[in-house]
């Protein structure tokens, strides 16, 4: 897809999504030129799901040394896919937000690597809301237990910003709405006293439902960059 198409798509998406909702441009598998085109059109938050690809794009475009950081001021990288513990060390120094923290062991690794970098790394806790077993996330009980540990002072080098979830891939919009609505209920239950500000749910195919159910952040790839 050429740069003019990406720019037009970004502007259409950004115009359709309410201004109060942050749009993450999911640039996974797309070349750096696609990131450049979307950035030039106004996108600032970009999502990648493969650590190697995320690190490569960061080093080429936004790293303090070797990158073209002066050209991409304000660009923030989001790790949106399943993250293996042994890959955390590669992104901890620069990642803007890790979306899919789905187990305590991963949170502990992020905390460890963030401490080594002298950072507090922002994260979202992923909750399992879909019927599909292929999707991951914490159960409600696991979420509550993990929050108790965080409230007691554990994992001091992570900053939990809110929750993230992925709905079932289905044409049943009612089911999708119920799943997103359930996550919003958990956000409203646990979030206010912890000053959460981010509820990440919704992608290219279901973001409208997610926004109607209270999403504050949507992850949109194909509607901006074309199909993969």
**Which pLDDT band holds residue 66 (cuts at 50, 70, 90)?**
confident
E runs forming strands in 31-101: 45-48, 76-79, 97-101
- 84: helix, coil or strand? coil
DSSP 101: E
Residue 1 has pLDDT above 80, yes or no: no
Residue 116: give the domain boundaries: 3-225
CATH number at residue 133: 3.20.20.10
Q: Which burial class, exposed, middle or buried, applies to 174 when counting CB atoms under 10 A from its CB (0-12, 13-18, 19+)?
A: exposed
* 185-222 CB burial, b ≥16 within 10 A, e <16: ebbeebbeeeebebbbbbbbebbebbbebbbbbbbbbe
Whole-number pLDDT of residue 143? 97
Residue 67 has pLDDT above 80, yes or no: no
What is the chain's mean pLDDT, rounded? Answer: 95
Whole-number pLDDT of residue 136? 82
Distance, in Å, from the CA atom of 32 to the CA atom of 21, rounded to the nearest integer, reads: 25
Cβ atoms < 10 Å from Cβ of 49: 20
What Å distances lie between residue 139 and 32, 117, 126, 146, 186, CA to CA?
Answer: 36, 30, 9, 10, 11
Greater model confidence, 178 or 67: 178
Please give the tally of structural domains in the chain. Answer: 1
**Phi-psi domain of 29 (left: phi exceeds 0; alpha: psi -120 through 50; beta: other):** left
Residue 90 has pLDDT above 80, yes or no: yes
- Residue 199 phi/psi, 5° resolution? -125, 100
Determine the length of the chain. 228
Distance, in Å, from the CA atom of 45 to the CA atom of 35, rounded to the nearest integer, reads: 10
Look-up: residue for tokens 């120094």? 93
Of the chain, the percentage scoring pLDDT greater than 70 comes to 97
Residue 228 has pLDDT above 70, yes or no: no
């Amino acid at each position: 897809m050429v740069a003019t198409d990406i720019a037009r798509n970004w502007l259409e998406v950004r115009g359709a999504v309410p201004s109060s909702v942050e749009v993450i441009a999911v640039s996974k598998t797309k070349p750096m030129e696609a990131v450049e085109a979307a950035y030039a059109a106004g996108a600032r938050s970009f999502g990648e799901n493969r650590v190697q690809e995320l690190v490569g794009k960061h080093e080429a475009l936004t790293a303090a040394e070797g990158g073209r950081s002066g050209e991409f001021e304000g660009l923030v990288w989001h790790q949106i896919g399943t993250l293996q513990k042994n890959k955390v060390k590669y992104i901890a120094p620069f990642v803007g937000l890790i979306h899919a923290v789905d187990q305590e062991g991963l949170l502990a690794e992020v905390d460890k690597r963030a401490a080594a970098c002298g950072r507090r790394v922002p994260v979202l806790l992923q909750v399992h809301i879909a019927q599909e077993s292929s999707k991951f996330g914490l159960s409600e009980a696991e979420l509550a237990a993990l929050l108790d540990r965080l409230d007691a002072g554990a994992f001091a080098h992570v900053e939990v910003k809110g929750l993230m979830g992925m709905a079932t891939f289905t044409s049943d919009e009612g089911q999708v709405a119920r799943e997103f609505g359930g996550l919003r209920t958990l956000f409203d239950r646990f979030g206010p006293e912890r000053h959460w500000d981010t509820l990440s749910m919704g992608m290219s195919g279901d973001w409208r439902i997610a926004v109607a159910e209270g999403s504050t952040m949507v992850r949109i790839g194909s509607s901006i960059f074309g199909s993969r």
